[in-house]
Amino acid sequence: QKAALYKPAGSREGIGNVEWIKWGKDGPSATNIEDGSHGLRIVRYFEGPAAAVMKHLNPSGVAVGHNGQNLSSVYVSARDADPRAAFGSVVTFNHQVDKRTAEELSKTFVEVVYAPDFERSAVTILNGKKDIRLGKVRNLVADPTHPDIVVLDDGSLIFEDSYSTRLRSEEDLKQLSVATRRLPTDAEYTAMLHSWWTACEVRSNAVVFWKDGVSLAIGTGQQDRIGAIEACIGKAHRYGHDLKGSVMASDGFLPKMDNVEAVARERVSAIIQPGGSVEDPELVKACDEHRISMVLTGERSFRHF
The pLDDT tens digits for 170-212 are 999 999 999 999 999 999 999 999 999 999 999 999 999 999 9
* pLDDT for the residue numbered 162: 86
| Same domain membership, residue 292 and residue 174 | yes
**pLDDT for residue 178:** 97
Task: Note the pLDDT tens digit of each residue in 239-273.
Answer: 999 999 999 999 999 999 999 999 999 999 999 99
Report how far apart, in Å, the C-alpha atoms of 290 and of each of 181, 267, 269 are.
11, 8, 9
CA distances 133 to 13, 59, 110, 298, Å, are 19, 19, 9, 40
Residue 300 confidence (pLDDT): 87
Closest to 79 (Cα-Cα) out of 90, 68, 70:
90
Same domain, 37 and 84: yes
How does residue 145 score in pLDDT terms, banded at 50, 70 and 90?
Answer: confident
At 208 the pLDDT is 98
What's the domain range around 129?
A: 15-136
Given a cut of 90, is residue 142 above it in pLDDT?
Answer: no
How much is the pTM? Answer: 0.96
Give yes or no: residues 211 and 98 share one domain: no
* pLDDT tens, residue by residue, 289-303: 999 999 999 998 877
What is the CATH classification number for the domain harbouring 89? Answer: 3.40.140.20
Confidence at residue 25, expressed as pLDDT on a 0 to 100 scale: 82
120 and 216 in a single domain? The answer is no
Q: How many residues does the chain have?
A: 305
Same domain (yes/no): 105, 190: no
Instruction: Identify the domain boundary among 136, 159, 186.
Output: 136
In a domain, 80, yes or no: yes
277 & 177 share domain:
yes
- The neighbour count for residue 80, using CB atoms within 10 Å, is 15
> Between 300 and 129, whose confidence is greater?
129
Residue 144: its pLDDT value, please?
80
Neighbours of 137 (CB within 10 A): 23
Q: 9-28 pLDDT, tens per residue?
A: 888 889 999 999 999 988 99
Whether 115 and 179 map to the same domain: the answer is no
* Domain end (from 88, 116, 136): 136
